[in-house]
Each structure stands twice: as C-alpha cells, then as structure tokens.
Structure 1
C-alpha cells in the first residue's frame, strides 16, 4: 500500500531539505506519541546507515521498532526504512527546485506486511485509506506553512 503527497513550499530547496529531512525531529515526535526510541550508536550527525531502535504501542500491543536512514542525497532525496510489528514502511522524501525560493516536496510512504498480524493491520489501514491520506496531506501542509514562516523570520532578521 502506498500513500503519496506533494506540496509546493516557498523556501529554497536546501532549507526545505534541512527541515523536512530532519529525522531527529521525527524521533522527538515519536516519543511524544509514547514510543521508546534510542539512537543506534548514539550518532549526532544524520547520514546514511544511522538508525533507531525501540518499541511502540500498535493496536494495544507493544511492538519492536527499528528505523534506518537508507538513502541521503542532500538536498534532493532522503529515505528511511522502518520495521515495526511485521511491517516494513519505507518513506521517501524528494525535493525539486521550482525557483530560487520555491521547492516541490514529494512524500511517499510504502507499507508492506511481512506477517499475518501485519496483514490484518494493513487491511484496517486500507479501510481507512481516505482518512489517513487526508491526515498525511494536512500534516505536510502544516509543516510547509511552519517552515515558510520560519524561513521568513530568518530572512527578516538577516
């Protein structure tokens, strides 16, 4: 199952990449949702091969989670693969220059079940596909607005 969205953001590509590709921010967000996440090898700089391990509650059950940055090509592409409860989730972020201060951000999440329990969860996801897609779309728009505001504040100071 694949979820895709794109958004034009009024910031330069490097800035968009640095904000949308900030996986340490997603690490903090996961903790906010109750996940117990630890960096593998305590890395401080984001690079291909860095990762996280931990656990998260999915449908009332604690499941192991493992995430790895599998591709990082600044400022064009970032990819992360996550394994959780028998499911593989691959997230691709691509950044395309539309102008000096405009970037097209594309996000794609591919979900693949590897166990029977994960297949059942994926069936539930399929039933709520429209609602999930709407949440993804609105989250990308909210992030784009946040980053545009941040970029304007930086420009006003500079």
Structure 2
C-alpha cells in the first residue's frame, strides 16, 4: 500500500533540507504527541545508518517501531526503512529546487506486510484508503506550512 504527497514550500532547498533533517526537533515533536523515541546509533552527524527506536499507541495497541536511515543525499533526499510487528515501511523524502526560493517536498510511503496480522492491518487500511489519503495530504500540507513558517523566522 502506497501513499504519496507533494507540497511546494517558499524557501530555498538547502533551508528546507536543513529543517526536514533536524531530527532533534522531530524527536521532540513525537514526544509531545505521546510517543517514546530514542536514538539507537552513536553517529554525531546525520547520515546513512542513523537509527531510532519508537513506541506509541496506534489503533488501540502499543506499537514498537525500529527506524533506520538508508539514504542521505543533502540537499536532495533521504530514505528511511522501518519495521514494526511484521510491517515494513519504506519512506522517501525528496526535495526539488523549483527556483532559488521555492522547493517541492515529495514524500512517498510504502507499507509492506510481512506477517498475517500485518496483512490484516494493511487490508483494513485499504478499506479506508480514501480517508487515509485525505488525512495524509492534509498532514503533509500542515507540515509544509510549518516548514515555510520556520524558514521565514530563520531568515
């Protein structure tokens, strides 16, 4: 099952990439939403091999998630692979400079069930695909607006 979204942001590509790859801010945002997030690597600079362990409530159950960065190409893209109870997820985050001060942010998310229970979960998600796509696009639009606001504040 795949989700994708594209949003245009009024900020230079380098600034958008810096904000999107500000992992400490993303970790704090997840903590504010009730997730427990912990870095599991010892890397000092962002790059391939960064990893996190996260625990959160979803669909009435506690979920455990292991996330690993598999691609890191500043200021163009990042790719993440995660595993949670038989469900693998690949997420690609890509930035494209439309002009000196405008960037297109593209996010592609693919869910791959690897167990029977994960297949049932994905099947139930497919039934709600239209609603989930709408929510995904709305959240991406909100995230893009937030990035744009943060970029303006930074100058």
Q: Structure 2: where are the runs of 5+ without partners?
A: none
Residue of structure 2 equivalent to 1:25: 25
Residue of structure 2 equivalent to 1:63: 63
Residue of structure 1 equivalent to 2:139: 139
Residue of structure 2 equivalent to 1:3: 3
Root-mean-square deviation over aligned CA pairs: 1.8
TM-score, with structure 2 as normaliser: 0.89
Residue of structure 2 equivalent to 1:97: 97
Between the aligned partners of 1:125 and 1:47, the Cα distance in structure 2 is 32
Between the aligned partners of 2:65 and 2:151, the Cα distance in structure 1 is 33
Between the aligned partners of 2:37 and 2:72, the Cα distance in structure 1 is 21
Q: Deviations over 1:84-128 (max 9, x none)?
A: 111011110111111000111111000000001111111121111
Between the aligned partners of 2:23 and 2:119, the Cα distance in structure 1 is 27
Residue of structure 1 equivalent to 2:49: 49
Q: Deviations over 1:48-82 (max 9, x none)?
A: 10101243333333333110011000000111111
Corresponding residue SS for 1:97 = strand
> Residues 125, 29 of structure 1: CA spacing in aligned structure 2 closer, same or farther, 3 A cutoff?
farther
> Residues 93, 151 of structure 1: CA spacing in aligned structure 2 closer, same or farther, 3 A cutoff?
same
Between the aligned partners of 2:128 and 2:93, the Cα distance in structure 1 is 23
> Residues 89, 25 of structure 1: CA spacing in aligned structure 2 closer, same or farther, 3 A cutoff?
farther
> Residues 154, 55 of structure 1: CA spacing in aligned structure 2 closer, same or farther, 3 A cutoff?
closer
Corresponding residue SS for 2:45 = coil
TM-score, with structure 1 as normaliser: 0.88
Q: Structure 1: where are the runs of 5+ without partners?
A: none
Count of paired positions: 155
